[in-house]
């Protein structure tokens, strides 16, 4: 495993880079106005989910809008012109979260009760759908930002294909449940769809709207997808070994939920037949005793699953930066991309 040498990988790289702060206020304002006018009770649910209903604070880091606006700016465009796409991406991501919570039966997200838990599955399902429709409508507003019809059409196609891939990834994830024969390759293919696709689309759309040439657009897409893998693997690590202080979740939380994350898949692939059977048996139980969670984590440590996951994430992070290696970029943009990658690799929550 080779890694890209970057200074950004040292220091306080787990803190939100300045890049995030630059766009945040505007993303929040645009999201608010996208969801503001509807009087239907459904819009109330959307505002609650996004976090606009009960305070000024946008829930989540808005990684996708940031990636999109950054790619647009780094391509020499005005990031303001990419705002409709940034909003569309955040709405589409939140559509997937609302439906994921239904599919996984999760009763809490970002320390707040989930939509289906508060309003029931039928209405939450409709709310997710409305969120997706709002995303598509937001994207079409690009036409009012001086973007040519042909480019808006292409952006719309890229966005829809990305969402379809994300949905196929979610379906794949569901079909992994209860299977002990999933390999790391299977898993990487699944997260490339489930998480990578929309991150690919995020940076691809930014570059497209920033009028980048086709090679640059493709490179941004590849880079975004690889950063999606970094993001997801880091999520998997934090879901098991994350510090409760930072994540707000107890250690081993993903084990308790019997999620098939990278460390689990790797362990199943590398542990002894006996351990594999044991984990398989435990993953079929309705709930796990604390002692069983501890036993599974011990099995993971015994095959160095955490170390493997960290190295793989670092490798994907290097690949992401290498994808942009041949692309001409202003020094400030390359530095910010390194900071962004490094943050995704080392974040603590």
Interface with a second copy, residue 20, by CB under 8 A: no
Q: How far is the CB of 123 from a second copy (least distance, A)?
A: 6
DSSP strand pairing (112-113 vs 108-109): antiparallel
- How many helices (H) and strands (E) would you count in the chain? 17, 2
Among 8, 52, 82, 130, binds a second copy (CB under 8 A): 130
Query: Per-residue x/- marks for a second copy, 22-51, CB under 8 A?
Result: ------------------xxx---------
Interface with a second copy, residue 107, by CB under 8 A: no
CA dist 121 and 86 (Å) reads 28
Interface with a second copy, residue 157, by CB under 8 A: yes
Interface with a second copy, residue 156, by CB under 8 A: yes
Residues 205 and 89: beta-carbon distance below 8 Å: yes
Among 63, 66, 68, 152, binds a second copy (CB under 8 A): 152
Interface with a second copy, residue 99, by CB under 8 A: yes
Residues 230 and 317: beta-carbon distance below 8 Å: yes
User: Which helix H or strand E contains 156, and what residues bound it?
Assistant: helix 149-176
Which of 104, 278 has the CB closer to a second copy?
104
User: What is the largest distance, in Å, between two alpha-carbon atoms of the chain?
Assistant: 62
Q: How far is the CB of 198 from a second copy (least distance, A)?
A: 12
Interface with a second copy, residue 93, by CB under 8 A: no
Interface with a second copy, residue 160, by CB under 8 A: yes
Q: Which stretch binds a second copy (CB under 8 A): 14-22, 73-81, 106-114, 125-133?
A: 125-133
b/e per residue 4-32 (b: at least 16 CB within 10 A):
bebebbeeebeeebebbebbbebbbebbe
Residues 193 and 168: beta-carbon distance below 8 Å: yes
Among 15, 107, 174, 289, binds a second copy (CB under 8 A): 174
Interface with a second copy, residue 16, by CB under 8 A: no
């Amino acid at each position: 495993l080779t890694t890209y040498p970057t200074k950004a990988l040292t220091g306080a790289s787990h803190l939100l880079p300045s890049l995030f702060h630059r766009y945040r206020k505007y993303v929040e304002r645009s999201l608010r106005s996208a969801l503001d006018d509807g009087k239907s009770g459904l819009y109330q649910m959307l505002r609650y989910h996004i976090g606009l209903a009960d305070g000024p604070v946008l829930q989540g880091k808005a990684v996708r809008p940031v990636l999109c606006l950054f790619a647009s700016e780094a391509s020499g465009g005005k990031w303001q012109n990419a705002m409709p796409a940034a909003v569309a991406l955040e709405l589409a991501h939140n559509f997937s979260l609302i439906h994921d919570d239904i599919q996984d039966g999760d009763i809490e997200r970002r320390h707040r009760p989930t939509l289906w838990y508060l309003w029931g599955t039928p209405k939450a399902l409709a709310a997710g759908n409305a969120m997706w429709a709002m995303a598509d409508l937001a994207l079409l507003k690009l036409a009012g930002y001086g973007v040519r019809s042909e480019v808006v059409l292409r952006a719309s196609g890229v966005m829809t294909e990305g969402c379809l891939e994300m949905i196929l990834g979610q379906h794949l994830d569901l079909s992994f449940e209860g299977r002990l024969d999933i390999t790391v390759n299977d898993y990487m293919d699944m997260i490339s769809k489930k998480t990578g696709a929309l991150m690919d689309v995020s940076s691809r759309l930014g570059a497209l709207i920033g009028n980048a040439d086709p090679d640059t657009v493709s490179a941004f897409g590849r880079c975004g997808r690889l950063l999606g893998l970094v993001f997801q693997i880091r999520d998997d690590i934090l879901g098991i070994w994350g510090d409760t202080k930072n994540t707000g979740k107890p250690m081993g939380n993903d084990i308790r939920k019997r999620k098939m994350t990278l460390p689990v898949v790797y362990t199943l692939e590398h542990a002894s037949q006996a351990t594999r059977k044991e984990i398989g048996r435990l993953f079929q139980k309705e709930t796990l005793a604390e002692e069983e969670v501890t036993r599974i984590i011990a099995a993971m440590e015994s095959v160095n699953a955490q170390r493997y996951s960290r190295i793989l994430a670092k490798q994907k992070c290097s690949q992401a930066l290498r994808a942009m290696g041949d692309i001409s970029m202003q020094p400030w943009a390359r530095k910010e991309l390194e900071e962004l990658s490094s943050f995704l690799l080392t974040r603590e929550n």
